């Protein structure tokens, strides 16, 4: 498959709308503190402007809002966004229909923390450089990005890529995002053939 085929194939969020109800149960069954335990020490103190890209049902966005952060949740799948708005109706989250690689709706808004949980692996190779450029654009000076990379077989009907961590680190450096922390962990849903790398970066 070449890059054009990858871009003209399934959308990056393919398969998520049809499975939204089941995915909501799966997402909300894991605690925010467990998902981010290796990186919590890098999160800014509230109130800090936070962007959750690929927010899903808003589990992380709601937890960060509860800590006192103003949070924007960007989720391109209408079904997941609708569930999230209902589950976390009183959280104060600002929901937007937006996604990488461009994040067009955010304009000149800047954030102190950007999180991408199980998102980056949906980007085709040709999308990753513009996506990293978009992350650098929305970060405030000294802002931080925390993203996770999924490794393992691709579920049917999804568009995913096994992205090498070193590729992501090198691409971030091109856009003046320096590596702060790197860690790896097993899958929190106990899938034996899936594991994760988590990377944190800071803008210059």
Give per-10-residue mean pLDDT for the chain (204 aa).
44 60 69 93 97 94 97 94 93 97 94 97 96 98 97 87 97 98 92 95 94
CA–centroid distance for 4 within its chain? 24
Q: Show the CA angle centred on residue 153, arms to residues 78 and 101, nearest 5°.
A: 45
With both helix axes pointing from N to C terminus, report the angle between 165-174 and 125-138 in degrees, rounded to the nearest 10.
Answer: 50
Pairing mode, if any, of strands 50-53 and 111-116?
Answer: parallel
Structure confidence by residue, pLDDT tens digits, 171-185:
999 999 999 999 999
Supply the pLDDT for residue 5: 44
Element (H, E) at 149: strand 139-151
Partnered with residue 202 across adjacent β-strands are 144, 178
């Amino acid at each position: 498959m070449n890059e054009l085929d990858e871009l003209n194939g399934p959308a990056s969020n393919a398969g998520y709308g049809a499975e939204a109800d089941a995915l909501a149960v799966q997402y909300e069954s894991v605690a925010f503190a467990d998902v981010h335990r290796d990186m919590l020490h890098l999160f800014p103190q509230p109130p800090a402007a936070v962007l959750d890209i690929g927010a899903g049902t808003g589990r992380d966005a709601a937890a960060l809002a509860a800590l006192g952060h103003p949070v924007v949740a960007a989720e391109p799948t209408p079904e997941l966004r609708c569930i999230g708005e209902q589950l976390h109706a009183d959280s104060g989250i600002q929901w937007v229909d937006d996604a990488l690689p461009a994040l067009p709706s955010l304009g000149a808004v800047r954030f102190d923390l950007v999180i991408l949980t199980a998102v980056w692996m949906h980007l085709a190779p040709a999308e990753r450089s513009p996506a990293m450029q978009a992350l650098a654009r929305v970060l405030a000076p000294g802002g931080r990005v925390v993203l996770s990379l999924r490794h393992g077989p691709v579920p049917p009907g999804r568009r995913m890529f096994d992205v090498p961590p070193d590729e992501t680190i090198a691409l971030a450096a091109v856009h003046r995002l320096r590596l702060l922390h790197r860690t790896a962990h097993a899958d929190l849903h106990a899938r034996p053939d899936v594991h994760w790398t988590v990377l944190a970066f800071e803008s210059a």
